[in-house]
Structure 1
Amino acid sequence: MFRFPRTILTILPVILLSLTSVAQSQVLLSPEVDKILQKPLYKNATWGILVIDLQTGDTVFSKNADRQMLIGSIRKMFSVGLALDQLGEDYRFVTPIYRQGEVKDGVLNGDLVVVASGDLSMGGRERADGTIAYTKFDHNEANSLGNAILTKTDPLAGYRNLAQQIAAAGIKRVDGDVIIDDRLFQTFNFRHEFDLRPIFINDDVVDMMLQPGATAGTPADVAWRPHSAALTLAPQLKTTGPGSELELDYDDLPNCIGKAGCQVPLTGHLPIDLKPVLTGEWPLVRNVRITQPQNYARTVLIEELAKAGVAVAANKTAPNDAAKLPAVGSYQADHQVAKLTSAKYAQFAQWILKVSYNIGADTSLMLYGVQNGVDTLEKSLAAEAKALKSRFDVSPSEFHFVDGSGGGDTAATSQAIAKMLTARTKLDNFATFKQALPILGVNGSLATVTRFEENDALQGAKANVYAKTGTYITGDEQGRMIVRAQGTAGYIDAASGRKYAFVLVVNNIGVISGIDDVIQVMQDEGEIAAWWWRQN
């Protein structure tokens, strides 16, 4: 059964668009901004604000700057930033495949082993020009946001490329198995959905594209991607008449991947006159989590090998047999039969930060850990904490991170965030980091702001605010939405020529009537940011 929301933590990186800079030494002197902050919506809320002049280092305004507050996905700037430092802007993931056995007359008497590298895309988002594709409504949030826009890239492109390389290497049949070596880091549970591993395919989701039939009472049109025997849909979704309610019933966390005949039934009603949220046009997108990505990836590679003319004796829908793997580090270079090379990590940083990709940020933290000799979530967090202290003077007492993406009660002081942002301006990769952030009115989660086009104040600040947002929403026993945190942090290039690092976080807004109230918070923050850009 699909559950909405699936977890109490909902990161809304797109529809809850916010940019925020907060000018309080002067904001409080501005009637237009003070009017926003005094709204009844914020009666019981707590604000954390810090604005730093990057030229002088002076604190322009500070409010509760030393108080830890919930920050949501603002946290991603720490994990992705350190990964960018450690790996380097030009780092490329290389995912090799080795043969275990000899090849005679085109027959491999042994196994093929894919050594997972943590490549988040596996060729599924790369464009021909070396950039990574993303949209303003990312499919990773389709279930939370109610819709998405899919990229036009082929999610199986990397696996197809690997299969073709194996065929070109002269292998026509594999008498053993295909195995995924996912031992790069130890798995950990991702938000009660699945165990995160360093192997990926379509961001570990199957996308469903839904559209009504021609008339009420007919079957709805249901397509999905990727197509694989690893997991198929069994749709019985009906088109219903005008004014009916949308009803979708399916298991978004199936546990059958790695078994023959794994299917996800999809039933319910799709109103013929429904206007899809966010996009206003069809298809309506939802997704199913690939809960065993090692099994799914194995099946897909076997299927792509068959298309390339390489037969595999093993059952293609069987589970990944990690027990057959050789010792870590024992692969022989001359046994490599294929490899997939990714886009540069600078592109991955953009993708993760622009759309607030949770799994991407968590994986970035793990990759940082691996580069520093550790392979668990706990030890990676410890390694990060050590680096934050030594490099940015951010003490462990100033933050509480539970993962790499901002899940749960992730918190930090405005001072800690501002210290990191300020120090980053002096690093060689600052331009790359800054451009990776969503840009107001241009791209990422700040590409569109509610009423942006008709708001002159926001128009003026377009392309001058670079900011990462974070939203934390829970539900109460009555099913009401409670906004525990919303914030934004980043940089402002003011109209005056001055440049600022800023942090704006609001906690404990409380119970709201619905999504429109959350959008209003984003709009309010956008107007405050625009005022700061204009006045300073």
Structure 2
Amino acid sequence: MAVVGHDRGTRRRALGISVCLCLLALLTGSCTGSFEGSARAEDAPLDPRIQKIMDKPVYRYGQFGLLVVDPATGRTITSLNPERLFVPGSTTKLFTVSTAWDTFGSDHRTTTPVYAQGPVTDGTLDGNLVLVAQGDLTMGGRTKPDGTLDYRPVDHTYADAVPGYATLTPENPLAGLNSLAEQVRSSGITHVNGDVVIDDRLFAPDPALVTDPTPIIINDNLIDILSTPTQPGQQATFTWRPQTARNKVSYHVMTVAKGKPTAITAEVGADGVIAVTGTLAADAKPWLVTAPVTDPAAFARTAFIEALDRAGVSVAATPTGPDPAPPAKAPSGDPVARLVSAPFSQEATLILKVSHNLGADLLVCLLAVQRGSRDCEDGFASIKAFNDKVGVDPAQASQADGQGGVDGDAFTPRAFIPLLKYWTTTPEAAQFREALPILGSSGDLALVGTDSPAKGKVFAKTGTRAAGNSLTGQVLVTARAMAGYLDTGDGRYLPFVVVFNDALVDSTDGVLSIAADIAQISALLQEDNTAASASGAASASR
């Protein structure tokens, strides 16, 4: 888990591993801490069970922050270092997604049009087909029959960050392009005597956003390779998607004995050949790795030409050629095909549930576009405006990307509270809350707290940053955090934040252990506040 950094202007940004590590109910690790900050005299003391977790040796040199607030009264219920800046990891996405949700609205949909440039005679288009990319995050590739977006607890975008845990959704990642192609055929076009163009001018590349969002995205700009073991000494079997003529797979993964190490890598050569090598234990589950799509526009062009061919529309141009320059003047008039996205609330749910880094950075660019700019950096002005609107103290918030993976991201626990309180006052309160991962139930918290009394009652965005330590070979867990709501069972949803920074662990399991500890602290906060609510209600009834 290495940190990769680069400079842009005067800002230093580094790529962290903002991973949705939620997986195993492994409970080891913690830190020392004392109850301090803005806690008031009437606040309940820190639960000894929480203090016991925090006193674990692994947390000795790090720091915790805790905050629970009653949104109705503003009273601080639990507080520890509430106004100290912490590395937030992917809890940063709360600010990005909230701004976009508030700006675009929960029902907003993106329409991706395809235009025919030229006359159509006897089914032949004498000109080009132009797909104008609009920043649709999924392009129909995750849409279920009911119109919602599909996801898994560990998304395929984390296949390489969390080896062995990621799984695929069953939907066809080319479904949106297939739909567009069928619409082109239904419009009467059977042959394109020209080329297919992906017009990706919506916003400019932004090297400071390390996930490299692009206006056209197919399958999260990834190729999935799924390996299945056979017998020791034999080559494993594999499937890959999405398959286009732009890529081939050179596969050399050997099945080894049960219990032996599994290690598979995928690298894309200049010729588009994906070299997949390694070993796979005979008792391993199907193992997913990914390779990047190196030229998203050219990839989408090839995939669209092939979709057109499947729909009965031939194209004169070579499918594997480069994406041609878009027309000088943006296409206008009636498109021959349209792909309408899922509502924004679904895209927000996907981003929050699985901690979708590319999607969160994409929102920064789309916010810039909404402001009339092609420069993604202008999207931060919208985030700042939202923070001002809800009352976030600018002295307690620093944000330099959309997803929480760079060094410019830092927030105090207190900074989250105005945002979380804001959503409790809106008609979308329940929708926003349920878009978050839910302890023991959904998103990247689905596999944690499944036996906890707090299962289904902690709604929280998670965040993790981890980096390699070349000095000792360990992993530095820069951050593990959760921020969201505690359901106290009396109709109240208390905003809360739990964050820890800086511990050294020996392996990925140690990172997962810290994630489980933070989840356990959140569960204990929920239990304590539920008990307090019940006690208060009982006293009031006497």
* Shared fold, TM over 0.5: yes
CA distance in 2, matches of 1:288, 1:414: 36
Q: Which residue of 2 aligns with 1:291?
A: 294
Q: Which residue of 1 aligns with 2:537?
A: none
Amino acid at match of 1:185: F
- Report if aligned partners of 1:14, 1:355 keep a CA contact under 8 Å in 2: no
- Report if aligned partners of 2:21, 2:515 keep a CA contact under 8 Å in 1: no
Aligned pair 1:320/2:327, yes or no? no
Change (3 A) 1:395 1:17: farther
Q: Which residue of 1 aligns with 2:244?
A: 228
Unaligned runs of 5+ in 2: 5-14, 530-542
Residue deviations 1:245-273 (CA, integer Å, cap 9, x gap):
3232431xx364xxxx5211222222323
Q: Which residue of 2 aligns with 1:216?
A: 232
Q: Which residue of 2 aligns with 1:149?
A: 167
Amino acid at match of 1:222: F
- Report if aligned partners of 1:17, 1:446 keep a CA contact under 8 Å in 2: no
Amino acid at match of 1:488: M
* Percent of residue pairs bearing the same amino acid type: 38
1:429 shift after superposition: 2.1
- Report if aligned partners of 2:209, 2:401 keep a CA contact under 8 Å in 1: no
SS in 2 for 1:70: coil
Q: Which residue of 1 aligns with 2:455?
A: 462
1:412 shift after superposition: 1.0
CA distance in 1, matches of 2:443, 2:34: 24
Residue deviations 1:468-523 (CA, integer Å, cap 9, x gap):
011111112233200111111101011465431111111122x2122222222222
1:296 shift after superposition: 0.6
Change (3 A) 1:396 1:291: farther
TM alignment of 1:259-278, pairs within 5 A: 262-273=272-283, 275=284
- Report if aligned partners of 2:180, 2:337 keep a CA contact under 8 Å in 1: yes
Amino acid at match of 2:60: K
Amino acid at match of 1:63: L
1:218 shift after superposition: 2.1
SS in 1 for 2:97: helix
1:326 shift after superposition: 3.0
Q: Which residue of 1 aligns with 2:20?
A: 13
Q: Which residue of 2 aligns with 1:115?
A: 132
Aligned pair 1:488/2:482, yes or no? yes
Corresponding residue to 1:186 among 192, 196, 204 = 204
- Report if aligned partners of 1:156, 1:201 keep a CA contact under 8 Å in 2: yes
Change (3 A) 1:316 1:29: closer
1:397 shift after superposition: 2.6
Corresponding residue to 1:245 among 231, 249, 261 = 261
Change (3 A) 1:357 1:441: same
- Report if aligned partners of 2:466, 2:477 keep a CA contact under 8 Å in 1: yes
Q: Which residue of 2 aligns with 1:332?
A: 332
1:138 shift after superposition: 0.8
Amino acid at match of 1:76: K
Change (3 A) 1:353 1:29: closer
CA distance in 2, matches of 1:192, 1:83: 19
Q: Which residue of 1 aligns with 2:355?
A: 356
- Report if aligned partners of 2:44, 2:77 keep a CA contact under 8 Å in 1: no
- Report if aligned partners of 1:229, 1:262 keep a CA contact under 8 Å in 2: no
TM alignment of 1:118-133, pairs within 5 A: 118-133=135-150
1:383 shift after superposition: 2.8
Change (3 A) 1:105 1:62: same
Query: What TM-score, normalized by structure 2, do the two folds share?
Result: 0.88
- Report if aligned partners of 1:208, 1:225 keep a CA contact under 8 Å in 2: yes
1:365 shift after superposition: 1.9
Corresponding residue to 2:182 among 139, 164, 172 = 164
- Report if aligned partners of 2:266, 2:290 keep a CA contact under 8 Å in 1: no
How many residue pairs match? The answer is 505
Q: Which residue of 1 aligns with 2:533?
A: none
Amino acid at match of 2:198: I
- Report if aligned partners of 2:350, 2:356 keep a CA contact under 8 Å in 1: yes
Change (3 A) 1:249 1:79: closer
Amino acid at match of 1:234: S
Change (3 A) 1:192 1:440: closer
Q: Which residue of 1 aligns with 2:520?
A: 527
Unaligned runs of 5+ in 1: 276-280
Corresponding residue to 2:120 among 103, 109, 117 = 103
Residue deviations 1:38-94 (CA, integer Å, cap 9, x gap):
221111111222211022121223332222210010010111111111111111111
SS in 2 for 1:531: helix
TM alignment of 1:385-404, pairs within 5 A: 385-389=384-388, 391-404=389-402
- Report if aligned partners of 2:264, 2:289 keep a CA contact under 8 Å in 1: no
Q: Which residue of 1 aligns with 2:7?
A: none
1:243 shift after superposition: 4.6
Change (3 A) 1:6 1:284: farther
Aligned pair 1:207/2:224, yes or no? yes
CA distance in 1, matches of 2:55, 2:95: 32
CA distance in 1, matches of 2:69, 2:34: 10
- Report if aligned partners of 2:64, 2:80 keep a CA contact under 8 Å in 1: yes
Amino acid at match of 1:172: T
CA distance in 2, matches of 1:413, 1:525: 17
- Report if aligned partners of 2:123, 2:188 keep a CA contact under 8 Å in 1: yes
Corresponding residue to 1:308 among 297, 305, 311 = 311
CA distance in 2, matches of 1:27, 1:347: 38
Amino acid at match of 1:297: A
Residue deviations 1:132-172 (CA, integer Å, cap 9, x gap):
11111210101111131111111111101111111111111
Amino acid at match of 2:22: I
1:196 shift after superposition: 2.2
Q: Which residue of 2 aligns with 1:374?
A: 373
Q: Which residue of 1 aligns with 2:111?
A: 94
Q: Which residue of 2 aligns with 1:278?
A: none
Change (3 A) 1:349 1:58: same
- Report if aligned partners of 1:354, 1:445 keep a CA contact under 8 Å in 2: yes
Higher relative CO (Cα under 8 Å, sequence separation at least 6) belongs to: 1
Change (3 A) 1:6 1:146: farther
Amino acid at match of 2:202: L
Change (3 A) 1:29 1:97: closer
